[in-house]
Structure 1
């Protein structure tokens, strides 16, 4: 009788253990089936590439160690949601089989290996989405997608001095950086080079426009160089200006800008004096002519 009271408990425990074992087995089977299924269906990779117009770009397919041998690979281009087959390369054949787009790409495309495609002499029209469908000898398939953006080269940078003035202690300059050619996706940064003591600034660093820089530098040591850097994601150009040429007094103690202003004022004064002299001479001649007519 003592053991009969424990039989329901033992029976319930045994059934519970059996259910737990069954659930674990089902979970393991599901994970195994999922992993096997993903291997059959393959997967997709995405790569984002940036290149410069006139340069080249390499589209490299990602290979996995367990599937090292490619049976064939098909390359294509997607434009306006329409996919176009470009070429197909099969294992054992050196020359690719072209489907279309020969006129646009054939003279510029190289196939360094079964898993890569190189496009040379890039143009702005080459920006877009490329894809490769890879079939391995094991029957597995992978689709690789490449998003390519082709940028224009950055033109030569230039610095213009929009204003320059000198106070007894400070040199105030406003500079503008830019390029004569219009280029999209262009950013500008300023770099100041010189001893730390020379980089003192007074007031705000300038307007919020990044193309313009306003500085107030002490006259005691104006040997500071400013570099404007124009850049896009793949290229950059810079221009450098020595503030010594703008802020340093000349041998007579005058700033070049001040001297130029004085020379201009001198020319104006000479012209005014000459004009006044001519006017007085003409008035004198008229008076003399009137006197002669009366006599």
Structure 2
């Protein structure tokens, strides 16, 4: 901003900046990249000037003959700036389409009969600020307040001053800001980041409520870890119960099938008595001795049949008596 300039005469006029200096101390002039600036020359008294030579860092860039014919009045001696240097009012110099290389010290050397006078300037070239951005990190403190860390940055930040402006026009002269915000005791607050350089300034505001929305919403949500743990335990118990049931069912069916395989024969006597001959495969036999009658068991069962019932197969009857 312009308070950075020395307290010397500085006049702005379209289409560029105009500055005048009548002493040997250089005047700081700020130009905008891609725009134009005018180095305004204040002529000495008397004004009987023979010639004026404009110098950039000690090198001649333009030559003026005030008393010459119009077509011989102004010469550009720097071919690289031939199309960008123009003569302004009172033999001032106008430089258009500024580049970073145009920055430096400029002097107008004025020859007055047998003496010389100088008017010097220091030209600084800056970019106009753009694309101001903010970044923030929020977290919930143990006391339930929203903690916010904010930072502000801008493109082409060379010679740029960044600061935060908070409630009550309080200014914090740095790009980083950390605050605590309690939604229970404070209303919504806005913080404004301001970026400035000698030729431009931009700003961007952020809201504490908007920044803390995500943090405060998770505070009111149930503990998802606890819910997941409960669900996993229930699933494990369910799987275990189903597994035991299936295992017992298969074991029962296996025992039944094994029993059926151990039945040699089943017969039904005419007097409704069932005779079953059951072997014992699990009985250990120490020596290959002939099988005796004691190695078998005979099961007697009386079956009462109704007149309407259908005949029952001997194998089915035996199965029921075994079970």
Interval containing the TM-score (normalised by the shorter chain): 0.5 to 0.7
2:29 to 39, 44, 49: 49
1:213 corresponds to 2:177: yes
Partner deviation per Cα, 1:236-276 (whole Å, 9 max, x = no partner): 211111334346xxxxxxx652214555954x666666666
The structural deviation recorded for 1:224 is 2.5
Q: How does 1:162-173 map to 2 (within 5 A)?
A: 162-165=137-140, 171-173=146-148
Q: Unaligned 5+ residue runs, structure 2?
A: 1-21, 255-323
Q: Distance in 2 between matches of 1:182 and 1:140?
A: 45
The structural deviation recorded for 1:229 is 0.8
Structure 1 equivalent of residue 102 of structure 2: 126
Q: How does 1:161-200 map to 2 (within 5 A)?
A: 161-165=136-140, 171-179=146-154, 181-193=155-167
Cα 1:155–1:75 change in 2 (3 A) is same
Structure 2 equivalent of residue 8 of structure 1: none
Q: Distance in 2 between matches of 1:288 and 1:107?
A: 96
Q: Distance in 1 between matches of 2:223 and 2:100?
A: 53
The structural deviation recorded for 1:227 is 0.7
Structure 2 equivalent of residue 232 of structure 1: 197
User: Is the contact between residue 137 and residue 149 of structure 2 (CA under 8 Å) also seen in structure 1?
Assistant: yes
More helix by proportion, 1 or 2?
A: 1
Cα 1:182–1:151 change in 2 (3 A) is closer
Q: Unaligned 5+ residue runs, structure 1?
A: 1-41, 200-204, 248-254
The structural deviation recorded for 1:285 is 6.9
Between 1 and 2, higher relative CO (CA 8 Å, sep ≥ 6) is seen in 1
Structure 1 equivalent of residue 315 of structure 2: none
The structural deviation recorded for 1:133 is 1.2
CA-based RMSD of the aligned residues comes to 3.7
The structural deviation recorded for 1:85 is 1.6
SS at match of 2:196: strand
Q: Distance in 1 between matches of 2:220 and 2:186?
A: 25
SS at match of 2:64: strand
Structure 2 equivalent of residue 154 of structure 1: 129
SS at match of 1:44: coil
TM-score w.r.t. the length of structure 2 is 0.57
Structure 1 equivalent of residue 298 of structure 2: none
User: Is the contact between residue 76 and residue 85 of structure 2 (CA under 8 Å) also seen in structure 1?
Assistant: no
Partner deviation per Cα, 1:151-173 (whole Å, 9 max, x = no partner): 22223222222125478785543
Q: Distance in 2 between matches of 1:84 and 1:165?
A: 62
Structure 2 equivalent of residue 58 of structure 1: 38
User: Is the contact between residue 32 and residue 98 of structure 2 (CA under 8 Å) also seen in structure 1?
Assistant: yes
User: Is the contact between residue 50 and residue 233 of structure 1 (CA under 8 Å) also seen in structure 2?
Assistant: yes
SS at match of 1:70: coil
1:113 corresponds to 2:89: yes
Query: Which protein shows a greater Rg?
Result: 2
Q: Distance in 2 between matches of 1:135 and 1:72?
A: 5
